[in-house]
Amino acid sequence: MSQSSTQNPGFVQVRDLRRDFDVSKPWLNRVLERAPRQYLKAVDGVSFDIRKGETFALVGESGSGKSTVARMVVGLLPPSGGTVSIAGISMTEQRASQERQRLRRRIQMIFQDPYASLNPRWRVGRIIAEPIRAFDIIQGEADITARVGELLTLVGLHPDDGKKFPHEFSGGQRQRIAIARALASNAEFIVCDEPTSALDVSVQAQILNLMRDLQEKFGLTYLFISHNLAVVRHMATRIGVMYLGRLVEVSEGKQLFFVPRHPYTRMLLDAVPDIAMVGKSREGVKGEIPNPISPPSGCTFHPRCPLVFDRCRIENPPVIDGVACHAVNEGRVAAA
């Protein structure tokens, strides 16, 4: 991972990415109740870089916008504002360029639910061969079958498994199939949206180890979305913490766990039940994520923040040196 990370900074560049969802009531209700249109800011000005060969993780609770970011980065969802560029090619520009078409095949996604992401009526071999055929990477049936067998072996399955249907596999094996499909088009950049949250712990360990092995072997770049901090700590080179559509802290991997800086990150870390916590009592966490349709003014975390002061209620803190917090940026808190 380390040798390639310096030569190409910002393999993926995300700048001021925004996405609003229209959650207005139907037209008639709006007219009768004189209600204005309502928008939910799912992602509100997120910027980050992913270096080649690293794993960039996004963590946050449900509704924080991490999956929306992932879907915009792969191009499944058009952003309302901001840009995404991968290997210097803009993914968000209106004009569909030929370069982008070629780039698309190098980007793949692994989804959370391996029961929903594989077509139940296709044999596994056909599922894995789909990107190969779609992008015309290999010609000739015999060669395609050989390649599928090779991919299945790579993810720890048997080449003959290609003849089976998805329902014949367990959750962990299905996720292996999803990984094989992602690798089929020689992808370099894989967006993983909660790849292990539907799996049991012992199977989760198998999949996480497999993903790391493949990363080392092929120099893959991952955008890794998870709500599980321990999994993220295990996988990530760098971590971004999201809260209500904003990136509140970006930190070098384990650094985040040794010196969490944003008060939200600290709260989150304190809240995780951990097996190291046997017999220890914890500090209570206060409050819940507010309604994203009418988020609090200023810094959206201020109603739950122990360090809140007047400025937080009015002004949205910019990300300075990896942290979006007035208290930290003004040096009012020691760095833990």
Partner 1 sequence: MTGQSSSVPVLSVRDLTVEFVTRRATLRALDAISFDIARGEVLGVVGESGAGKSVTGSAIIGLIDPPGRIAGGEVVLSGERIDNLPPEAMRRIRGKRIGMIFQDPLTSLNPLYRVGEQLVETIRTHTDLNAADARKRAIALLDEVGISAPERRIDGYPHEFSGGMRQRVVIALALCAEPEFIIADEPTTALDVSVQAQIITLIKRLCSERGTSVMLVTHDMGVIAETADRVAVMYAGRIAEIGPVRDVVKQPLHPYAKGLMGAIPSLEGDAERLVQIPGSMPRLSAIPSGCAFNPRCSRVFARCHVERPELIQVGDRKVACHLYDMPESLRGKAEIAA
Between CA 307 and CA 305 the distance in angstroms is: 5
If binding is defined by CB under 8 A, does position 203 make contact with partner 1?
yes
Is the Cβ–Cβ distance between 267 and 285 less than 8 Å? yes
Q: Which is nearer to partner 1, 87 or 325 (CB)?
A: 325
If binding is defined by CB under 8 A, does position 214 make contact with partner 1?
no
153 to 182: interface string for partner 1, x by CB under 8 A = -----------------x-xx---------
What is the bridge-based pairing of β-strands 55-59 and 107-110?
unpaired
If binding is defined by CB under 8 A, does position 49 make contact with partner 1?
no
If binding is defined by CB under 8 A, does position 113 make contact with partner 1?
no
Identify the CA nearest to 44 among candidates 25, 72, 23: 72
Q: How distant is the alpha carbon of residue 10 from its chain centre? A: 16
Q: Could you tell me which stretch among 25-33, 72-80, 113-121, 200-208 binds partner 1 (CB under 8 A)?
A: 200-208
Using CB under 8 A, which residues numbered 65 to 94 contact partner 1?
none
Q: What's the closest the beta carbon of residue 215 comes to partner 1, in angstroms? A: 13
Please list the helix, strand and coil fractions of the chain in percent, rounded to the nearest 5, in that order: 40, 20, 45
If binding is defined by CB under 8 A, does position 1 make contact with partner 1?
no
Residue 161 CB neighbour total at 10 angstroms: 22
Q: Which is nearer to partner 1, 211 or 312 (CB)?
A: 211
Q: Which is nearer to partner 1, 50 or 268 (CB)?
A: 268
* Three-class DSSP category at 49: strand
Q: What's the closest the beta carbon of residue 225 comes to partner 1, in angstroms? A: 15
If binding is defined by CB under 8 A, does position 336 make contact with partner 1?
no
251 to 290: interface string for partner 1, x by CB under 8 A = ---x--x---------xxxxxxxxxxxxxx-x-xx--xx-
Between CA 233 and CA 254 the distance in angstroms is: 6
If binding is defined by CB under 8 A, does position 294 make contact with partner 1?
no
If binding is defined by CB under 8 A, does position 8 make contact with partner 1?
no
The token pair that represents 269 in the structure block? 């870390």
Single-letter amino acid, residue 63:
G
Q: How many residues bind partner 1 (CB under 8 A)?
A: 43
If binding is defined by CB under 8 A, does position 25 make contact with partner 1?
no
Is the Cβ–Cβ distance between 46 and 247 less than 8 Å? yes
Q: How far is CA 127 from CA 41, 55, 131, 200, in A?
A: 35, 26, 8, 24
Between CA 61 and CA 145 the distance in angstroms is: 41
Q: How far is CA 76 from CA 252, 318, 323, in A?
A: 28, 28, 28
Q: Which is nearer to partner 1, 289 or 333 (CB)?
A: 289
Which helix (H) or strand (E) is 84 found in, with range?
Answer: strand 81-86
If binding is defined by CB under 8 A, does position 61 make contact with partner 1?
yes
Among 2, 7, 62, 139, binds partner 1 (CB under 8 A): 62
Among 126, 133, 147, 212, binds partner 1 (CB under 8 A): 212
Identify the CA nearest to 192 among candidates 160, 243, 236: 236
For partner 1, the binding residues (CB under 8 A) are 61-62, 170, 172-173, 200-206, 208-209, 212, 227-231, 233-234, 254, 257, 267-280, 282, 284-285, 288-289
